[in-house]
């Protein structure tokens, strides 16, 4: 194909071209760069929590682009996040493919036009789907498993007669400022890509990922996977349950406890050095340990569902069909404390010396001496298949802090 005549063609090209991008506004953040193939398995979940920075990125001269089509296989249980991005003219014209509620959505910025279109089949079913994106004249076409899922028409009076320069491509993040987006979204994507063909280019991708690339497991199941290296923490003011004085606050955990080890959850009130309530699992021998104000209650059984109900001066715990009630005079009024702000952590015991309201919004581990430590010697290893508060699913991507090792929406599975 000769020179690209319009931006829609060039943009799509870049768009298709890839899955791995350049740094925000074309700049790297300073960490060492590594080259990686764009055709092998790529785990998009290996990303810096809370950032829009691409996991992988590349760029190529437009004169080297000869194809207008890119395709790859994609698998996820995650309902929302960035799949890939492409742009030309250093971000003046750009494209991003995301999922929202599991449905593909394309946002495109070109000259004087900003477009957002959603449609096609849900892709967050945990199955591999063949995704193909192509530029067809003034249209961007998304096909899923051989069927057209989304067609976006785009034509601007401010066309570029002969497009020159470079195409930039990014995976798991975007390269334009957030104020250019038509509709904001949650950037993190717990998903995998494999067998990518990006406009028939062989240019290597570059990444700043920390450590070795995460694997894409052969079999996965819905849930949040904790590999025993970190925790996720919420301020309870960001969770449901602020008007439930009489019925209390209910936290539900679903999963196979025989395949877990460590701290499932902990709850800390402001001003307390240690958590008020913790739930731990020890499978040697098999037991569930509920700790309330340093007082341990050991239940020698496994579970598929554990429920905690927090009332004023009372804690109820249901382990499958077993019901336990604990009334302690000096425990806090949980509904009131919940409304004022507590720290609810999944997967570990945070050591915290400051109130929830004074937490930083950063999703990186705090620096030594700032009053907060997320270190723990009892991190959870295992899969929490479902986490609910007041009957509503909890998305770890929206946590106040989440360790980079945790997969929010998928767990490795034996079948």
Residue 319 within any structural domain of the chain: yes
Residue 7 within any structural domain of the chain: no
Residue 176 within any structural domain of the chain: yes
Claim to verify: residue 166 and residue 302 sit in the same structural domain: no
Residue 229 within any structural domain of the chain: yes
Residue 371 within any structural domain of the chain: no
Mean per-residue pLDDT over the chain, rounded:
82
pLDDT at residue number 2: 36
Statement: residue 183 has pLDDT above 80:
yes
Claim to verify: residue 120 and residue 240 sit in the same structural domain: no
Per-residue pLDDT of 245-276, as tens digits, reads: 678 999 999 999 999 999 999 999 877 778 89
Claim to verify: residue 310 and residue 175 sit in the same structural domain: no
Q: Which of 214, 249, 277 is the last residue of a domain?
A: 214
Statement: residue 25 has pLDDT above 90:
no
Claim to verify: residue 204 and residue 233 sit in the same structural domain: no
Q: Which of 192, 214, 236 is the last residue of a domain?
A: 214
240 vs 76, more confident: 76
Residue 10 within any structural domain of the chain: no
19 vs 338, more confident: 338
Claim to verify: residue 292 and residue 339 sit in the same structural domain: yes
From CA 125, how far away is CA 364, in angstroms rounded? 30
Claim to verify: residue 175 and residue 74 sit in the same structural domain: yes
pLDDT at residue number 209: 77
Q: What is the DSSP track for 127-195? A: S-EEEEEEEETTEEEEEETTEEEEEEE---SS--SS--SEEEEEESS-SS-GGG-SS-------EEEEE
Claim to verify: residue 89 and residue 208 sit in the same structural domain: yes
The pTM score is 0.84
pLDDT at residue number 18: 30
Q: Whole domain around residue 245: which residue ranges?
A: 224-352+377-412
Q: Among the listed ranges 322-331, 340-349, 359-368, which one has the minimum average pLDDT value? A: 359-368
CATH assignment at residue 203: 2.60.120.200
Domain count, the chain: 2
* Three-state SS at 112: coil
pLDDT at residue number 121: 94
Claim to verify: residue 170 and residue 297 sit in the same structural domain: no
pLDDT at residue number 315: 93
Q: Which of 168, 194, 214 is the last residue of a domain?
A: 214
Claim to verify: residue 51 and residue 158 sit in the same structural domain: yes
């Amino acid at each position: 194909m000769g020179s690209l005549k319009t931006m829609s063609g060039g943009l799509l090209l870049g768009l298709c071209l890839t899955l791995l991008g350049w740094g925000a506004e074309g700049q790297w953040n300073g960490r060492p760069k590594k080259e990686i193939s764009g055709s092998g398995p790529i785990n998009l979940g290996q990303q810096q929590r809370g950032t829009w920075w691409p996991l992988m990125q590349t760029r190529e001269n437009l004169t080297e682009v000869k194809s207008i089509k890119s395709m790859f296989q994609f698998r996820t249980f995650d309902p929302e996040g960035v799949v890939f991005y492409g742009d030309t003219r250093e971000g003046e014209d750009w494209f991003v493919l995301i999922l929202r509620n599991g449905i593909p959505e394309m946002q495109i910025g070109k000259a004087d036009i900003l477009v957002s279109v959603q449609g096609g089949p849900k892709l967050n079913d945990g199955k591999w789907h063949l995704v193909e994106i192509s530029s067809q004249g003034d249209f961007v076409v998304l096909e899923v498993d051989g069927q057209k899922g989304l067609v976006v028409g785009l034509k601007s009076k401010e066309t570029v007669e002969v497009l020159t320069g470079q195409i930039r491509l990014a995976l798991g993040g975007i390269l334009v400022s957030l104020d250019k987006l038509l509709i904001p979204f949650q950037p993190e994507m717990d998903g995998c890509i494999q067998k990518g063909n990006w406009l028939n280019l062989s240019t290597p991708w570059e990444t700043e990922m920390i450590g070795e690339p995460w694997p894409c497991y052969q079999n996965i199941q819905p849930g949040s996977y904790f590999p025993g290296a970190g925790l996720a923490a919420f301020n309870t003011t960001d969770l449901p349950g602020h008007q439930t004085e009489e019925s209390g606050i209910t936290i539900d955990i679903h999963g196979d406890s025989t395949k877990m080890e460590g701290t499932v959850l902990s709850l800390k009130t402001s001003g307390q050095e240690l958590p008020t309530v913790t739930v731990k699992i020890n499978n040697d021998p098999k037991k569930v340990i509920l700790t309330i104000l340093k007082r341990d209650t050991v239940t020698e059984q496994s579970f598929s569902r554990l429920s905690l109900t927090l009332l004023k001066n009372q804690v109820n715990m249901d382990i499958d069909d077993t019901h336990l009630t604990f009334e302690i005079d000096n425990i806090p009024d949980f509904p009131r404390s919940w409304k004022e702000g507590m720290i609810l952590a999944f997967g570990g015991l945070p050591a915290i010396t400051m109130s929830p309201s004074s937490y930083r919004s950063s999703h990186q581990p705090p620096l030594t001496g700032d009053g907060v430590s997320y270190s723990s010697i009892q991190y959870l290893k295992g899969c929490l298949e479902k986490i609910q508060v007041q009957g509503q699913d909890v998305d770890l991507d929206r946590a106040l802090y989440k360790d980079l090792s945790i997969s929010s929406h998928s767990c490795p599975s034996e079948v």
